Structure 1
């Protein structure tokens, strides 16, 4: 199992960001499912951060397409390598949607991670795994 964490700056205009990111997530989920890749995407404060996990060749193929994608600039691979297990095994591409909470929560870790901070990378991964855990718990609760 191979895992890759990257961050990038968005080239999207704020007025078009919500619709464009929704389209990106929809296409990403389809692509990831076909490639047996899982992961989580966060977007806020003009930044993307994403963890991709799966077979190394599939993850690297997706990363190459992200590097060519004009919606991303200043792409930085923050961490990559073998992983014992998938963090997001039940998500082709987890995404919280736009919110001020997400923007505030990821701004510092993304900024620190881009400067090479291991703590920033760890905090960013923690935010994503906490989001996954809360969504997993919420989906297992009976509906009202």
Structure 2
């Protein structure tokens, strides 16, 4: 699917992080369920993006039409599986970063978990750091799949 640039489509993005509210033994099954349901929903809403789950924290970047992102955002904010939701970026986008994925998710990674925690402890100075981390992780994980 080809996605037009912002000037013609009103593209917006939302980057957030949250803490998982579920016990670790249930968390991965819940994340698998989130991914399974989100992929077709995002595709239907013309939303693309990527999700990281570190075992204790969610980090997600979504991009698409403003109304679609607002709908998904409302759903996420009401979801009891996580709390302490922090928005790092919300607004217009010049182009999509994850145009090939309605929701890119490759499973948990200790390497990524450490990187995410380091970003939070050092203080997020540049949201592009998080988006770049998501993009790198997705590309590497997709390349490793058969």
TM-score for both structures, normalised by structure 2 = 0.84
| C-alpha distance 34-111 of structure 1, shift in aligned 2 (>3 A) | farther
CA distance in 1 between counterparts of 2:58 and 2:130 reads: 11
Q: Name the CA distance, whole Å, in 2 between partners of 1:6 and 1:37.
A: 15
User: Structure 1 residues 23, 111: closer, same or farther in 2, change over 3 A?
Assistant: farther
Distance in 2 between residues matched to 1:99 and 1:38, nearest whole Å: 21
Tell me how many residue pairs correspond in the alignment: 136
**1:1-144 equivalences in 2 (<5 Å):** 1-112=11-122, 117-119=124-126, 121-135=127-141, 138=143
Deviation of the 1:72 alpha carbon: 1.4
Alpha-carbon distance change, 92 to 110 in structure 1, aligned in 2, over 3 angstroms: farther
Would you identify which runs of 4 or more consecutive aligned residues in structure 1 move more than 6 Å? none
Superposed CA deviations along residues 79-134 of structure 1, whole A, max 9, x for unmatched, are 11111110000101001202212211221224455xxx323x33211101212343
> TM (normalized to structure 1)?
0.85
Task: In structure 1, list runs of 5 or more residues that go unmatched.
Answer: none
Checking the alignment, whether the CA contact within 8 Å between 1:110 and 1:124 is kept in structure 2 is no
